[in-house]
Amino acid sequence: MKKGFSLIELLVALGVLILLAALAAPPVLSAVERGRVARVVADLQTIEVALEAYRTDHGHYPPVTVSCMAADAEQVLQLPLELAEGGYLPKNERAKTSALLEDPFHRGSTYKYAAPEPYWMNGSMQSERYAVWVPSDFPSCQSASGKADDSANCPMSWAAWSVGPRPQKAKALSNKAPAAGFTWYRGLGDDGVIGRYKQKDGPSWSTLR
């Protein structure tokens, strides 16, 4: 006659399995985060190529999208649909925002984009330009001081970024992201944004340094 496992033996075995799972979880989660960060870096380089191609063809960068409607919060500062409509980036018809490239840290939404260019507000093109936050020590961007700049001489041409691994924690910093260095993602476990920005008549820069 076969002897079955006792309740104590089953509980011990279950405890061992839970312990092994707990030990394995951090490396797995770290690998997932690293993989998503690598994808963000590659996608932002693709976005840079698209933005520069658009400027070559049109003489300016595409407009910014903003909204004062709570229902449109996910569409604020989305990648310009003009990039998809012009064939500079592929369309993504599955997403509500026709998401172009989807931010792997914010499923269903695009990467963010801002530039001192005219902007869409609730579907209407505005005559004024969007004000981007520029640190006082731009382009190194380590200073906490700076100003919102919508002038034609703004030292930053554009910025594109991912909300990062923990967007809810980073939300409080979003009004100065991604140019302000204190909003940047620094490594595993951090809650900052991951971005690229371009110096006017100069090079582009990555926030990952």
Q: Is the pLDDT of residue 70 over 50?
A: no
* Nearest-angstrom CA–CA distance, 204 and 89: 19
Residue 50 lies in a domain: yes
Four-residue CA torsion sign, 94, 95, 97, 102: negative
Complete DSSP assignment for 27-87: HHHHHHHHHHHHHHHHHHHHHHHHHHHHHHHHSSPPPEEE-S-GGGGGGTTBPPHHHHHTT
Q: Is the pLDDT of residue 171 over 60?
A: no
For the chain, what percent of residues have pLDDT higher than 70?
77
Q: Is the Cβ–Cβ distance between 89 and 102 less than 8 Å?
A: no
Residue 14 lies in a domain: no
Nearest Cα neighbor of 83 from 52, 43, 42 is 52
Tens of pLDDT along 77-96?
A: 989 989 998 999 987 766 55
Complete DSSP assignment for 100-155: SSBPTTSTTSBPEEE-SSEEEETTEEEEEEPPEEEETTTTT---S-EEEE-STT-S
Residue 125 lies in a domain: yes
Placement of tokens 């992201």 in the chain: 177
* Nearest-angstrom CA–CA distance, 35 and 15: 31
Residue 60 lies in a domain: yes
Residue 51 lies in a domain: yes
Q: Based on the structure, what is the number of domains in the chain?
A: 1
Element (H, E) at 169: helix 167-170
* Nearest-angstrom CA–CA distance, 161 and 164: 8
Residue 38 lies in a domain: yes
Domain residues for 54? 31-206
Q: Is the pLDDT of residue 163 over 80?
A: yes
96-100, 148-152, 193-197: least confident range = 96-100
Name the pTM for this structure: 0.81
Residue 3 lies in a domain: no
Q: Mean pLDDT throughout 12-24?
A: 60
Residue 86 lies in a domain: yes
Q: Which residues contact 201 (CB under 8 A, 6 or more apart)?
A: none
